Amino acid sequence: MTLVQGALDWLGDPANWRGLSGIQQRLVEHLAITGAVILVAALIALPLGILVGHTRRGRGTVVALTSGVRSIPTLGLLTILALNLGIGLTAPVLALIVLAIPPLLAGAYAGIESVSVDAVDASRGIGMTEWQLVRAVEVPLALPVIVGGLRSATLQVVATATLAAYVADAGLGRFLFSGLKQRQYSEMLGGAILVATLALVLETALALMQRVLTTVPPDTGRP
Amino acid sequence: MIEFRDVSKRYPDGTVAVESFSFVVPSHETVVFVGSSGSGKTTLLRMVNRMVDPTSGTVLIDDQDVQQVDKVQLRRSIGYVLQGVGLLPHRTILDNVATVPMLRGVSRAHARKDALGLLDRVGLDRALATRYPSQLSGGQQQRVGVARALAADPNILLMDEPFGAVDPIVRAELQVELRRLQSELGKTTVFVTHDVDEAFKIGDRVVILSAGGRIEQADTPERIVAHPANDFVADFIGARSARRTLRVQDVDGREVVVDGDGRPVGMLAT
Ligand SMILES: Nc1ncnc2c1ncn2[C@@H]1O[C@H](COP(=O)(O)OP(=O)(O)O)[C@@H](O)[C@H]1O
Ligand SMILES: [Mg+2]
């Protein structure tokens, strides 16, 4: 109980929020890392996943590859990358991109594959080009599933981005590592609460977005 | 005019859907391909808009080989109604109908205006324009499918078991309306079904197919009934069944037509 009280006191102290290693700064760094990682991973995974879903080719390869990648422990990967790339943000960002790609990829191809075969066949039959099919039919209808992938990728990255502090002076993970080292358990727990809260906020926002993007209308009225 | 010139189709898995098929669909006529499931009807139909490319042989539209026409342009110039309808679930009825004209470069406002007229044409209430496909009954969705196929005012209409999934009463209604539309519009139409009665109701000519797209008989419905070409056709149309073997029975001085079981079908017109 005193530990929780300590963490809340730590969070409540305005002094802890200010400065270059204050909560505000770390929060911004954490979000920036998460955002950049998701952006780069999405630029790789979404086109690839959409291509696989649209052509129905290479699914086996992609599944094998992503389940292989999923089995790599992120901390191990981060250590290996850091040993090769040195201290700094490059190694954690790369490790997090590897973490984010599988759920994004799976969301993209599963989403496209879930689109009604009849709608796709008819759209092609009335004269849509393959590109028009992807843009006007498959992607809009797959969007809820694609955002589902984005949601799970974001959740994993925002939680795991604490590891960035393992090799770089960045992110909310700093409070966990420094707290642990200096036996400042209230700081450590406070940091953990911040990460969990951030994850919850992002999760809620994306869940909301997913609901809004569900383009298939309900049985009454316009969406 | 659509001409199938000795076409065949072998799918990559080795299935021979069509062995060798030749037939001419005259302009402004409605030809029905009828045959049991798997006889190659869909395959033949989809050769016309190049959704399927024949393994050998050619399909010609007004003497032009369809292989020489760009697929996408070809499809935009042909009306296509599918058994599964395949409306876009995220677009309104009006926008579904307006799809092809918009693909062809017509402005949205103009395409929507024309689409409203098409809803009237296929007997749909304009109030449905802003609904989504999932809010319509199966029969209504099929009407939208027909409106969408007519939207670009194509010369050719391809219809693949369009009324297969609706209940018999609605189906009969749709058949009557299709005939009305055909007499108004005079499109060159290929209609595919596995239902002989539907074929006889809709077709100016009927092509009876057996496995591998083999033509067992191609003629007007009345001539097929009068002279089934062989036992396959006779069986297929149920020539010997009670409902096709009608006779006249005198009932209190009136001429009542009864079927093979003696059930009344109607009266002889006087
Ligand atoms: N894409 C395909 N790949 C392999 N076989 C197919 C394909 N499409 C159809 N077939 C086969 O070709 C035959 C004819 O099919 P189809 O033209 O759909 O017949 P119908 O429309 O008369 O039911 C069937 O045996 C069917 O299983
Ligand atoms: Mg078929």
Topology (CATH level 3) of domain A22-215:
MetI-like fold (1.10.3720)
Task: Read off the pLDDT band of A218 (50, 70, 90).
Answer: very low
The tens digit of pLDDT for each residue in A119-158 reads 999 999 999 999 999 999 999 999 999 999 999 999 999 9
The tens digit of pLDDT for each residue in A90-125 reads 999 999 999 999 999 999 999 999 999 999 999 999
Task: Show the ligand 1 pocket: residues with CB < 6 angstroms.
Answer: B 11, 13, 15, 17, 35, 37-43
Distance of CA B143 to the CA centre of its chain: 13
Q: How much distance in Å is there from the Cα of B236 to the middle of ligand 1? A: 20
Widest CA span in chain A: 69
- Beta-sheet strands, E only, within chain B: 2-10, 16-25, 30-35, 56-61, 64-65, 78-81, 156-160, 188-193, 205-210, 214-219, 247-251, 254-258, 264-267
Chain B residues with CB under 8 Å of A216 CB are 89-90, 132, 134
- Beta-sheet strands, E only, within B100-245: 156-160, 188-193, 205-210, 214-219
User: What does the pLDDT read at residue B270?
Assistant: 76
Closest residue in chain A to residue B148, using alpha carbons only: A126
Pair B1, B189: CB distance under 8 Å: no
Q: How many CB pairs under 8 A join A and B?
A: 77
Phi and psi angles of residue B7, each rounded to the nearest 5 degrees, phi first: -85, 150
Chain B residues with CB under 8 Å of A56 CB are none
Specify the DSSP class assigned to residue A196. H
The residue whose CB lies within 8 Å of the most ligand 1 atoms, and thus the one to mutate among B39, B43, B194, is B43
Q: What is the C-alpha to C-alpha distance for residues B211 and B198, in angstroms, rounded to an integer? A: 20
Q: Where are the domains of chain B?
A: 2-244, 245-270
Q: Where are the domains of chain A?
A: 22-215
Pair B131, B161: CB distance under 8 Å: no
The 10 Å Cβ neighbour count of residue B268 is 9
User: What does the pLDDT read at residue A217?
Assistant: 54
Residue B253 Rama label (left phi>0; alpha psi -120 to 50; beta):
left
Q: What is the C-alpha to C-alpha distance for residues A140 and A111, in angstroms, rounded to an integer? A: 10
Chain A residues with CB under 8 Å of B75 CB are 124-127
CA angle B58, B60, B66 (to 5 degrees): 80
- Residue owning the nearest CA to atom 26 of ligand 1: B38
Model ipTM value: 0.92
pTM metric for this prediction: 0.89
The one-letter code for the residue type at B20 is S
Q: What architecture is domain B2-244?
A: 3-Layer(aba) Sandwich (3.40)
Radius of gyration of chain A (CA): 21
Residue B166 has pLDDT above 90, yes or no: no
